Structure 1
Amino acid sequence: MTTSSGTSRIVLAVTEVSSTVVVVTWRGAGHITACLDALAAQDRPHRTLVVDNASDDGTARLLAEHPSKPQVVRLPRNAGYAGAMAAALSLVDTPLMAWLNDDAVPDPAWLGTLEDALGTAAAASARLDRPDGAPQSVGVRLTADGYGADALGEPVFGFCGGAALVRTGILRAVGGVPASFFCYYEDTDTAWRLRLAGHEILAVPAARVTHRHGVSTQPGSPRFHRWNERNRLLMLLRCAPAAVAARELARFAAITAALPLRRNPPRAGNFRLSLRARVLAEVLLRLPATLRARRRIGRFATIGRGQVWRNWTPR
């Protein structure tokens, strides 16, 4: 470029980075490299922040040696996916924050496709496929009893935390990530609060990710069922209409109390009496803090809890 004085100067084009991709890992040595390789191959510039939940399997060395040189925050203990995402939120200084599991491998166009599709929405959920190519999720739907379930079609109630893009400022405005959930339902709870605040959430099936589902948490394990059942009830107490939350808590307690009286109790892992008793104890212990959170959520809500429930649950 030439100035009016005839001298020339060089103008450097600065590419604006809109997104920080946050990857949470725990004992991810067997798969974190594939995730970071895929992020390094993205066709959209971004920052990568890895939150290491005190891994003890060599993950820290792999992160330090990876050629992409991601920013790494190592927590002193395992805070779970929810706790690590909550910690990351305070460090993100880009307008957008992408959530990505460490056992996920995004296509090169994944992030750019999400950014381009976001529009005025608060969040966008990618398409997750299993390693064999079978679809796993394009987002989250709500069931009639308040469970979050994988959605395979549009529209979606919420985003799947395994691969999604969220507006950082809006996420903070609706209370951030519920760190105490540890694992599971932190994404559905966050999406519910976004809905209550009047925001839109999109499914973007063209943003594709291959996902080795449950590598760290082992779906079907006692830990999985404990977190799944506890956090569903906590989410309902925080976000659902009061009658729905009370109904589901009472139903869970009644089924638990009746289990010793049943001749042939269900064999599924989430019907173990000791597990359900622990879930009830944890929910009751957290009830005062949960009800305080419910009041805070109500203060920023612009759509009634009943309306959101009617809009997004099957009749």
Structure 2
Amino acid sequence: MDVSVIIVSYNTAAATVDCLKSLETANGTKEIFVVDNVSTDESVPKIRQFFPDIQLIVNKTNRGFGAANNQVLPLCRGRYIIYLNPDTIVKPDAFKKAVSFMDRHQDIGLAGAKILNPDGSLQESVSYRYPGEKFTRGETAGLAGNIACVLGAFMIARKSLLDELHGFDEDFFLYGEDQDLAWRIREKGLSIGYIEDAEVLHWGGQSETRTPPAAIFEKKLNAEYLFYSKHYRPSTISRIKRSQKRKATYRLLTLKITAPFAKNKFAHDNKKQCYQIILEIAGR
């Protein structure tokens, strides 16, 4: 079997159904796993109703994104694992092209697809630097390739490699696990790739629609600092913290001055909350 597809769902019923429908026309031999992290919407009954042949795992607690993916990794029989977000639509030939790309490039351990916005415009999905990398002093010198990571909406990786790495680091609950996995793959001497002719539509953020923007920002920043603690020297982290605290202090001052003139109070208050979160986390 070529591909094992893993989708983690959390309150994304409509998007998940549309995603699974698109997989019905996806070329190539495949098996599909959906791991539901205690959705309170109609995700589970809809998947059971419309896709009875899909292997559905319903968790009793929200284990987080990385752990939910890891949960079914031992069950996967494909040569490749495709991590797929539920708010995506996969073009019919995307899997076939992704597998062909990986077969041709044995030096690549994981690769991302060409991610498109719902209107067909290009969505930024390739990063050449990690968070805070400009403050490093040689930590990235031994990493293979020039791509740091790709967007986790669609990632294809070698099953044998993921088994060796034990999948995602489950300390990352949500956000940052894709960057960490890419780093560890590059440490093994394999590069991160980009498959330009494998196209996937991505809506983005559908599982967090009920979460306030500042709370999402806090989750992402905490994930960044976990990434720093795993891969950067203490001196590098200190430089990052000093820079972030200086910027946040300055921005809070300017926001205070401009508050009476703010046209969008919600946006103004959200920025204020985010910079306060930076001061709190960087001050630890």
Q: Normalising to structure 2: TM-score of the pair?
A: 0.80
Equivalent of 2:218 in 211, 226, 238: 226
Identity of aligned residues (%): 20
Partner residue, 1:132: 119
Distance 1:220-1:168 versus aligned 2 partners, 3 A rule: farther
Distance 1:56-1:22 versus aligned 2 partners, 3 A rule: same
Paired amino acid for 1:187: D
Q: Is the aligned partner of 1:275 residue 2:258? A: no
Superposition CA RMSD, Å = 2.8
Distance 1:58-1:207 versus aligned 2 partners, 3 A rule: same
CA apart distance, 1:91: 3.1
Distance 1:28-1:264 versus aligned 2 partners, 3 A rule: closer
CA apart distance, 1:37: 0.8
Contact 2:255/2:272 (8 A) holds in 1: no
Taking CA–CA contacts closer than 8 Å with sequence separation of 6 or more, which of the two structures ends up with the larger relative contact order? 2
Partner residue, 2:60: 76
Contact 1:42/1:110 (8 A) holds in 2: yes
Partner residue, 2:230: 238
- Which stretches in structure 1 are left out of the alignment for 5+ residues? 1-16, 148-153, 285-315
User: What is the distance in 2 between the residues matched to 1:220 and 1:205?
Assistant: 34
SS in 1 for 2:95: helix
Contact 1:35/1:104 (8 A) holds in 2: yes
CA apart distance, 1:255: 5.3
Paired amino acid for 1:190: L
Count of aligned positions: 259
Relative to structure 2, which stretch is displaced further, 245-254 or 82-91? 245-254
Paired amino acid for 1:73: I
Q: Is the aligned partner of 1:48 residue 2:23? A: no
Q: Normalising to structure 1: TM-score of the pair?
A: 0.73
CA apart distance, 1:23: 0.6
- Which stretches in structure 2 are left out of the alignment for 5+ residues? 135-144, 259-267
Deviations 1:193-242 (A, max 9, x none): 11122111110011100111111224971222012111112112212355
Partner residue, 1:141: 128
Contact 2:131/2:224 (8 A) holds in 1: no
Distance 1:67-1:73 versus aligned 2 partners, 3 A rule: closer
Partner residue, 1:174: 165
User: What is the distance in 1 between the residues matched to 2:151 and 2:11?
Assistant: 22
